[in-house]
Structure 1
């Protein structure tokens, strides 16, 4: 018998204590097929619902998320270790996404009238395509799910979710919240499945779209599998975002924003600030203040309101992060603060700064998914932009400068990345597109763009 047939279970672990939280049984292959079929049947009814009425259901999901805020926030903190305050902020963001989607959805999906070259009339409609399958990570257990599912539902599609195993409880609670909001049975379904079963979901003929948020390696695998099955895909992958501190930057403001940009969500964010490129003229001042601020970050129990940095989500992830630090040091990087695994229960890692970061080191080339900052010196503003773009990634980035017009021009014309933040660190904004280029993936979410990723843009022409 296979692992799944013997009902092997998922065990979730609290990263703050290292102790077991809960167990969940995998679904059988037959249960998965039934769930997909139910989602498809629910979709066939849902697609007939008007965008205006769909928007009302999306609003209801937002209200139910708000009603469940404390329960959901506590579960996220228990499962992946973010501070309780930031878990609450995540739920607030999810509520805002529902509100924004319900407001713009009917307008974005409205059929367009067009004039044709021959004087005839044309119409462009946005028809739902069917069941959309989302494979989501653990670092934002609610936001990552709400981001794609609410857009897909608003467009008229059905939604399946495979959540990361260590946040299985959050995935199941979200399914419950969606049902409590009045969503039809089966229209949003959390699948508790293995990777092999996930591959079969992608192949299932009733599944029409696949979206993944994860690592570039995972993106390559899922992208290939979706393409092999001729399924539309959206990939939001990792990054090594550069934040440029230019000659005329407000150093104190830049330090404050850069520290928060590196430690927010325990540093486990694809769009987190990771490489800090300061020009030579102000490098020493920025370096001294930045290292001091990072060394003073309060690490501890994420349930404590005074804690600024909780644990890394899993032991293996913490160990991988430390190995990247060690290998960077072996290749010439220097530890300015942090860099040691503390002797305490849980999977903690201190706020760390590496300097003398050079090409060929993991600190320069790779994504550090945890509170480790790479500090790099540039000759001048032009050199800083060169270094920023010297990366296989391109999700987000930032520029600190008192000349905001010049910074905006630099961002729009020269920064090879999907999102740029001026004098701030990056957070998701429901009204703005979210996504990247190069190894950071393709496709866009938010800002109305996500509503049309999984629709049939249909041309109807008449005489």
Structure 2
């Protein structure tokens, strides 16, 4: 039996029977069938689906936020922000998926293509019941994968709401199966040959079990596990900003996040002032019903979490730490704990050595920056770290911190644009960004024994340039930065010494002809070109040109494959090229 409980009151909200083996088998089969079709869908179809998911999440934001709050206790404003972040993530991958999925040309003969792995099992936690899932599913769907979601059993209503969001947004039937199953059924899912890979977010202890089971089945895993993130405050930090940010970094989501700051390591010379500022700000936090607008600290998600936290606080104080404020179970219904500040916490104490999952901050004083870095790294975890110091010394200190992410003069947070994950017992693999998307893709090396043409083609070598694509183009026509998509010449002119910034394109190929002398850097090849020379630039290969002659340099461009208009990121120049029909006409007239 799976039970939904309101942590603010302890009230039972709903109960659900676990799905039996036959129902689970049917859902996995459906996901495999749906994914076998989805993997061949056009990228535009996938990005449109992600945009629909974003719109659906926003349309239902109020309803979904209220559901999160009722089932895991997050303050309502934070729950609404969680749904918005999910929508932003979907939009990010809708925008960037085409580029992330493009083949990468490595050499003239070799390239890397990306294929989806299949159906991925996602075992997700309760603390961010929508975000943890959508940060996985957006890139997974964009990549052509399917999924089976096994959510935390304390948030079954959130799991079913996710299922309804997917359905409302138009996710193909069966492509993402949402299972209500007991924990002991997970091992069978991992061992199932139809499951291609596993992603898990949760405790280090359960992550070790997941890793063992997936490893036995030789399946790819991404594990985002526990953390005891350091928040390092050095003497040259802006203490007012550091202390204010520290409160949010620790007490967001009532302290129930892997990347909450948990150990505050402060240089001794400023420790008294930091503790005073920090403790005063903690005193302004409001413990209350999470649906109330003014509440900043809600209940912990479960009674067991509250009791474990209180035990850690008691053991830390008994070992010699100073209790600055809090340290007690709140005197009210539900699973509340008072915001707590512990000072003079040392290695060997529970609040330093263990992950504290709730509204408790542990402050450790150190003599200097070297000691701060040493203690920051003195943990089995390695998820994130926040470093507060002057920018001019930050880069050297960042290199010495053992963490998957270091935020300088800012709190640690996940961002769809950047890879997210940890080292040591905080797990392995990455989510988010291009790196996260490729975790569940096959990086396929493709080698062609028919190499690309020589880098440079002299004017007398060919009259018509043909790469075998069926489009024959005369190199000396076409223009860069022309006002219309017409045959023209002489429109790209660069003064002596001009350096065209490094850039690349994602069309199939381009042929460039030079009127004047240039040095071309294409990938890792560098060559001097004379007037009339032509060169070929593969898709995705960074390139730049330098005018090395005595006069102006003019470059004529002809793109193969398809018509395209692009804006060069480095220059902002819009590039218009010949259409396929124009190229065909030119080829005919050139014979």
Counterpart contact for 1:321–1:368, Cα < 8 Å: yes
Is 1:384 aligned to 2:376, yes or no?
Answer: no
Range that drifts further, 137-146 or 293-302: 293-302
Is 1:17 aligned to 2:3, yes or no?
Answer: no
Counterpart contact for 1:295–1:338, Cα < 8 Å: no
The alignment's C-alpha RMSD in Å is 1.0
Name the structure 1 match of 2:396.
409
SS of structure 2 residue aligned to 1:369 = coil
Counterpart contact for 1:122–1:460, Cα < 8 Å: yes
Name the structure 2 match of 1:36.
28
SS of structure 2 residue aligned to 1:193 = coil
Aligned residues: 449
SS of structure 2 residue aligned to 1:99 = helix
Q: How does 1:31-430 map to 2 (within 5 A)?
A: 31-115=23-107, 121-401=109-389, 403-411=390-398, 413-430=399-416
Q: Distance in 2 between matches of 1:298 and 1:408?
A: 37
Q: Which has the higher helix share?
A: 1
TM-score (norm 2): 0.75
SS of structure 1 residue aligned to 2:154 = helix
Gaps spanning 5+ residues in structure 1: where? 1-8
Q: Distance in 1 between matches of 2:238 and 2:55?
A: 40
Deviation at 1:85, TM superposition (A): 0.2
Point out the structure with max Rg over C-alpha. Answer: 2
Name the structure 2 match of 1:447.
433
Deviation at 1:279, TM superposition (A): 0.2
Counterpart contact for 1:122–1:462, Cα < 8 Å: yes
SS of structure 1 residue aligned to 2:15 = strand
SS of structure 2 residue aligned to 1:27 = coil
SS of structure 2 residue aligned to 1:274 = strand
Deviation at 1:112, TM superposition (A): 2.0
Gaps spanning 5+ residues in structure 2: where? 450-591
Is 1:437 aligned to 2:429, yes or no?
Answer: no
Name the structure 2 match of 1:462.
448
Q: Distance in 2 between matches of 1:25 and 1:182?
A: 27
Q: Distance in 2 between matches of 1:408 and 1:73?
A: 39
Q: Distance in 2 between matches of 1:262 and 1:390?
A: 19
Q: Which has the higher strand share?
A: 2
Deviation at 1:158, TM superposition (A): 0.5
Q: CA offsets per residue over residues 385-405 of structure 1, 9 Å max, x none?
A: 11111111110110112x223
Range that drifts further, 285-294 or 62-71: 285-294
Moved over 2 A (4+): none
Counterpart contact for 1:113–1:124, Cα < 8 Å: yes
Q: Relative contact order (alpha carbons < 8 A, sep ≥ 6): 1 or 2 greater?
A: 1
Q: CA offsets per residue over residues 200-244 of structure 1, 9 Å max, x none?
A: 000110000000000110110000100001110000001000011
Name the structure 1 match of 2:519.
none
Deviation at 1:51, TM superposition (A): 2.1
Name the structure 2 match of 1:3.
none
Counterpart contact for 1:59–1:98, Cα < 8 Å: yes
